[in-house]
Amino acid sequence: MLIDHVEVLVSSPGRNFVTLRVRTADGLTGYGDATLNGRELAVAAYLQEHVVPLLTGRDAHRIEDTWQYLYRGAYWRRGPVTMAAIAAVDTALWDLKAKVAGLPLYQLLGGRSRDACLVYGHASGNTLPELFDSIRAHLEKGYRALRIQTGLPGMSTVYGVASSPAAAGERYDYEPARATALPVEERWDTRLYLRHLPTVFEAVRAEFGPELPLLHDSHHRLTPIQAASLGKALEPYDLFWLEDVTPAENQEALRLVRRHTTTPLAIGEVFNTIWDYQTLIREQLIDYVRSPVTHAGGITALRRIFDYAAMYQVKSGIHGPTDISPVGLAAALHLGVAIHNFGIQEYMPHTSDTDAVFRPSYRFAGGSLAPGEEPGIGIDYDDVAAARFPYKAAYLPVNRLLDGTVHDW
């Protein structure tokens, strides 16, 4: 199981992805996802220049040792670039180990705790009729939980709302990264949002009833007291969760939010280590952990976060936008069916071009995603297909308040 060849694969089938491929001397191949939306080539260079030379000749079985070697050995710790690079190596080694064992990865993580992972889809619309249409379309496809994002009256673009009814050929596809020379700039009005959003949830509950689990993402845009006020205003509509209400670098800020509302809170898609959750979990300031395998140091490190969270009855809610590649999503599903404290999995389906490159074996049915049953994580990267989609620089939007002040996007 000695590693003898490591490649950093950059392709753009529908959007940019950075993938690590690790080969062993006996011809096995493992894959890891290192995609960092809008900053992809930083991770590709980190891997190519600083990590690939360290891997050749190492024993691929030594997952924990390799994780510690890359984390402690760099001296410079944490951060999204470093942790995405470590995540890619870690995931590839788990993929390899499962292939050697001849088992789907979840069997090595303790076996199934459930049949499949309940997912939530993204319903959005600029207006209520468009939003209702989107909700109905998702329900027809079998979704059993939905994130609700909506336009604001008088605002042209709002986070989470499909930019065009015909985007990417799928009516409610939402892809925020744009291949423009400079980032697209959006505008934001917090007071308008706080007034408008509860009326949307009231209308959705009136139309679709009390059963359907509903989620919403505030995308880091509120102060703690604004977040507290929103959580309280949404209590009558029984949200499954309210996500990223504040930029949570200041974990203590969530104490104030928690004191005022019982709306469940989910946080952490931009976090990359267990330390980012230390106060949030220990003080039970959140209900769901949002980190994905891809940005939190891989399966080894995310499992550690979930085990810590389980002590406080905090559950998983893994980030699953399209910029988590099928490798990252497959890894999330193996972890999701294995852990006891699974909550829900985010699911934005990839384009058919993306699936043609990665050939994932997970399957969506009945509102859930199930990992594939073949040995490993169930990814088979197609180099010929990938060659048709070269890297294209793209940026996430930048957000400004109405007076021009840069705000959290």
Q: For residues 88 and 336, give the distance between their C-alpha atoms in angstroms, rounded to a whole number.
A: 18
Stretch that binds Mg ion, among 3-11, 125-133, 184-192, 267-275 (CB under 5 A): 267-275
Q: How far is the CB of 157 from Mg ion (least distance, A)?
A: 17
Q: For residues 130 and 124, give the distance between their C-alpha atoms in angstroms, rounded to a whole number.
A: 7
Nearer to Mg ion, 18 or 215 (CB): 215
> Helix (H) and strand (E) counts for the chain?
14, 16
Q: Provide the H-helix boundaries in 46-79.
A: 52-55, 63-73
Stretch that binds Mg ion, among 138-146, 166-174, 262-270, 375-383 (CB under 5 A): 262-270
Q: How far is the CB of 44 from Mg ion (least distance, A)?
A: 24
Q: For residues 120 and 147, give the distance between their C-alpha atoms in angstroms, rounded to a whole number.
A: 6
Do the Cβ atoms of 218 and 243 come closer than 8 Å? Answer: yes
Residue 217 as a binder of Mg ion (CB under 5 A): the answer is yes
Nearer to Mg ion, 105 or 265 (CB): 265
**154: number of Cβ within 10 Å:** 8
**Burial class for 42, CB neighbours closer than 10 Å (0-12, 13-18, 19+):** middle
Q: For residues 13 and 396, give the distance between their C-alpha atoms in angstroms, rounded to a whole number.
A: 17
Nearer to Mg ion, 217 or 323 (CB): 217
Q: How far is the CB of 83 from Mg ion (least distance, A)?
A: 18
Stretch that binds Mg ion, among 212-220, 256-264, 327-335, 363-371 (CB under 5 A): 212-220
In the numeric block, the tokens 């600083």 are attached to: 50
Q: Is 159 a catalytic residue?
A: yes
Q: For residues 251 and 254, give the distance between their C-alpha atoms in angstroms, rounded to a whole number.
A: 6
Instruction: List the catalytic residue out of 219, 220, 295, 350.
Output: 219
Residue 173 as a binder of Mg ion (CB under 5 A): the answer is no
Nearer to Mg ion, 324 or 327 (CB): 324
Q: Is 5 a catalytic residue?
A: no
Nearer to Mg ion, 120 or 362 (CB): 120
Stretch that binds Mg ion, among 17-25, 56-64, 179-187, 264-272 (CB under 5 A): 264-272
Do the Cβ atoms of 233 and 194 come closer than 8 Å? Answer: yes
In the numeric block, the tokens 């329900």 are attached to: 139
**By beta-carbon distance, which residue lies closest to Mg ion?**
217
Which of positions 106-135 make contact with Mg ion (CB under 5 A)?
none
Residue 323 as a binder of Mg ion (CB under 5 A): the answer is no
Instruction: List the catalytic residue out of 46, 106, 159, 362.
Output: 159
Which positions touch Mg ion (CB under 5 A)? Answer: 217, 269
Which of the residues are catalytic?
Answer: 159, 219
